[in-house]
Structure 1
Amino acid sequence: MNWQHFEPFLVALAIGLLLGLERERSHTRDLPAGSRSFALLSLAGAIASGIDARVVAAGAIGVAVLLAVAYRRTRADDPGTTTVIAGLVAYLLGALAYTRPAEAVALAVVVAVLLVSKARIHRFAREIVSEVELEDAIKFFVVAFVILPLLPDQAIGPYGVLNPSRIWLLVVLLTGIGWLGYIGVRALGPQRGLLVTGLAGGFVSASATTASMGRLSKTETGLRAALASALVASLATFVQLLLVIGVVDIEVLRLLWPPVLAGALVLVGVAAFVYRGGTRPDHTTAEDQDTPDEPTMRPFALRPALALATVLTLALLVSRWAADMLGPNGLVLATFAAGLADAHAGAVAAASLAAKGDVTVDAALIGVAAALGSNLLVKVILAFASGGRRFGLAFLAAMAAPAVVFGVALTLVVTLG
């Protein structure tokens, strides 16, 4: 027998002490269970799991009864039931620690965070999230976790583009980014909330994030905050581009990173300028806007997401058709068409051809530029479609300088070798 035989029991004790200490630290009144009781409950769960699963079940019933009796004695001082429930969870986590200690520890940390965050969660539920936002969150969960799993994940139609599951996943992505952006604004304020949402959403889909920010620009958040968020989403595109190209072909990456870095630095400067301007009141008039502000716009909007998902699916269909018809001989046109759906898809296709020796590295760089150009065109169109003329023009103007710098730098790299 070695120490590994005792590891599950030590993990169970640690879990129980963690939860028990949190309960004692957060309460000054009598509790139905303290730190020692929690540690013993978790250890009992591990011992029961080592005997038999039926013993675990019987033990859970016994623990529930004991905690209920203890709660009756202390409910006058502490009417809450969180400690009782946490005690039962500690027992079950102890049982889990016997077979899967890593998962038990991870879940224990999550439980501890929930217990520590009592005030923040209550404030979020009572002051940040309104009834309308809660209803929309439920709708989003239906869209994401009820409808999506029921759709077939099968490639149908021309080029297998019309995949119901993947198309609906795009709808989930669009609605999710919009909802998270709305809640981020409520929790962190218009500037910080949208900025964090834009950067995170950009690593998933910069085009979808741009569309969502265009829609949010017509709410009380204002144009500047939404525009800065859309710009940092495009910054994520640059970062992802270097990562995926580095996996495919190091030689292409060696020549591509200087132009990408130059464009990214300019984009950071433009986004910072817009963001700092967003901290000041955004004075606008009715003549400056195509659409009036909508301060009561709901965070969940399914119809715009369906429309944008249709547009992006059609773009993907066109790109697949172009790639199939043109092949390597039409690299620039093929990557341009692929970029209509995703910039990285066209860029990876060009780098893959260079890695195989089918095209030169310089030709691959031009193909990457074509994919980024067409993807920028899609973002501009989405910015106009979702945010109106004012947001669209602002996004186009803001992206002009990074695009020009990237193009000039890439031209120098290709020319000078």
Structure 2
Amino acid sequence: MTWQQIQPFLVALAIGLMLGLERERSHNRRLPAGSRSFALLSLVGAIAASFDQWAVVAGLAAVGAVLALAYARTSEDDPGTTTTIAGLAAYMLGALAFSRPALAVALAVVVAVLLVSKTRIHRFAREIISEVELEDAIKFLVVAFVILPLLPDQALGPYGVLNPAKVWLLVVLLTGIGWVGYIGVRALGPERGLLVTGMAGGFVSASATTASMGRLSRSSASLRAPLASALAASLATFVQLLLVIGVVDTDVLRRLWPPVAAGAAVLVIIVALVYRGGVRVQHDDAPGGEHSEAPPAGRPFALKPALVLAAVLTLALLIGRWGADVFGAKGTVLAATAAGLADAHAGAVAAASLAANGDITVDTALVAIGAALGSNLLVKTVLAFAAGGQRFGLSFLAGMVLPTVAFGATLATVLAM
């Protein structure tokens, strides 16, 4: 017998032992199946799969009946059904290990993590996530997995700029990031709430977040915490830029990530230094040494801002295509600069889309993306001064100087190569 022949059975045995040991360690009461039973269930699944698929089906029916009988005998001590379901999963994973052992191991790890995380998952469901947030999560699933597959993936409209599937994919990306960021604020609690709020808010609108933090700084005991939050929103702009460009054109992404990484790395250091000072001030001022951060505002699922951004993106793409057709590369750069006044990603994605279609070069797209980020930074700086006053505005501008220089210098080096 060769190693290739015996490997699936050893993998199945290891999967069963891992799941069985977790079940025994997490329960002190009598269980319908223990570590040896789980190991045997997975091994039986692999043996059944070595015959044919009908043997797997027959084995599943037999295993289901045995587990149901075992559960009936132990349900008074432990009314939960998790162990029974885990036993069925062990059998199916054992069967899968016969043909695809790597996938079986990966899924077994996921199952084990779910079993180990019982307390955390229950706490998250009962104490952290609210009914509104659960409702918004369902809406996001509809947007991502019901609407998106139904949309046509083809170029429509003038210059072929309207691709329903790609535009809606951007909506899914933005709403998903916003939802995850919102839940992150709730899960991390108030201690890091303001910083995470700035980061999460930056994924939706860094300009709006900067203005909100500026207004908060007027009534805050310390300028550092709102300032760190506003700078974190700009950090989110860098992160989100790479995500959306990666969806549009990987060629642009390969040359764009070094300048974005350089700017983001410098900004991370600045945010850490500013926030550290802000936490120290708040810790000294708060009663009892506790932080008094505000909870996240609004709802986690923000469809309207994502739709507005998608509309701005489509318009910017149309203007960019028209500008490239009439004025050449300069028209694309001007269009990206104008779009950046509303949102940095709109002009950037429009330029990357033009490069992906071959209407402009990758170098021109990089220049346009830099112009979009520059005009958007100008808008955020104006909002920082208007909402937070001169002190907040100057502090925000000072915090963005080095990241901007790092981004610009690296971008110039990339273009010169």
TM-score (norm. length: structure 2): 0.74
Distance 1:193 1:173, change over 3 A: farther
Alignment check: 8 A CA contact 1:336 1:346 kept: no
Matched, 1:38 2:32: no
1:369-390 per-residue CA deviation (whole Å, 9 max, x = no partner) reads: 55313234246658999xx955
Superposed, 1:144-163 pairs within 5 Å as: 144-163=144-163
Provide the rounded CA distance (Å) in 1 between the counterparts of 2:66 and 2:212: 52
1:322-353 per-residue CA deviation (whole Å, 9 max, x = no partner) reads: 23333357786587579763548758989xx9
Provide the rounded CA distance (Å) in 2 between the counterparts of 1:102 and 1:323: 48
Aligned to 2:206: 210
Provide the rounded CA distance (Å) in 1 between the counterparts of 2:41 and 2:304: 51
1:131-190 per-residue CA deviation (whole Å, 9 max, x = no partner) reads: 111111111111111111111111101222111112222222222122111100001135
Of stretches 129-138 and 153-162 in structure 1, the one that deviates more from structure 2 is: 153-162
Superposed, 1:110-129 pairs within 5 Å as: 110-129=110-129
Of stretches 59-68 and 260-269 in structure 1, the one that deviates more from structure 2 is: 260-269
Q: Which runs of 5+ in 1 are unaligned?
A: 283-292
Of stretches 368-377 and 70-79 in structure 1, the one that deviates more from structure 2 is: 368-377
Aligned to 2:230: 227
Aligned to 2:312: 311
Q: 1:22: how far off?
A: 0.7
Superposed, 1:177-326 pairs within 5 Å as: 177-189=177-189, 192=192, 208=204, 210=206, 213=209, 223-224=226-227, 226-236=229-239, 263-264=263-264, 266-276=266-276, 279=279, 297-326=298-327
Q: 1:296: how far off?
A: 5.5
Alignment check: 8 A CA contact 2:186 2:296 kept: no
Distance 1:370 1:277, change over 3 A: farther
Provide the rounded CA distance (Å) in 2 between the counterparts of 1:329 and 1:228: 31
Alignment check: 8 A CA contact 1:31 1:74 kept: yes
- Of 374, 377, 382, 2:375 maps to 377
Q: 1:64: how far off?
A: 0.8
TM-score (norm. length: structure 1): 0.74
Alignment check: 8 A CA contact 2:242 2:253 kept: no
Distance 1:41 1:295, change over 3 A: closer
1:92-137 per-residue CA deviation (whole Å, 9 max, x = no partner) reads: 0011111111111100000000001111101111111011111111
Alignment check: 8 A CA contact 1:326 1:333 kept: no
SS of corresponding position for 2:28: coil
Distance 1:273 1:322, change over 3 A: farther
Q: 1:274: how far off?
A: 4.2
Provide the rounded CA distance (Å) in 2 between the counterparts of 1:76 and 1:216: 55
Distance 1:5 1:334, change over 3 A: same
Alignment check: 8 A CA contact 1:248 1:348 kept: no
Matched, 1:20 2:20: yes
Provide the rounded CA distance (Å) in 2 between the counterparts of 1:240 and 1:74: 50
Q: 1:76: how far off?
A: 2.0
RMSD: 4.7
Provide the rounded CA distance (Å) in 2 between the counterparts of 1:261 and 1:177: 19
SS of corresponding position for 1:41: helix
Provide the rounded CA distance (Å) in 2 between the counterparts of 1:345 and 1:94: 48
Of stretches 397-406 and 178-187 in structure 1, the one that deviates more from structure 2 is: 397-406
Q: 1:278: how far off?
A: 5.3
Of stretches 322-331 and 105-114 in structure 1, the one that deviates more from structure 2 is: 322-331
SS of corresponding position for 2:153: coil
For 1:37, the aligned partner's letter is S
Identity of aligned residues (%): 57
For 2:206, the aligned partner's letter is T
Tell me how many residue pairs correspond in the alignment. 387
Distance 1:301 1:216, change over 3 A: farther
Distance 1:88 1:399, change over 3 A: same
Alignment check: 8 A CA contact 1:180 1:197 kept: no
Aligned to 1:82: 82
Provide the rounded CA distance (Å) in 2 between the counterparts of 1:75 and 1:249: 56
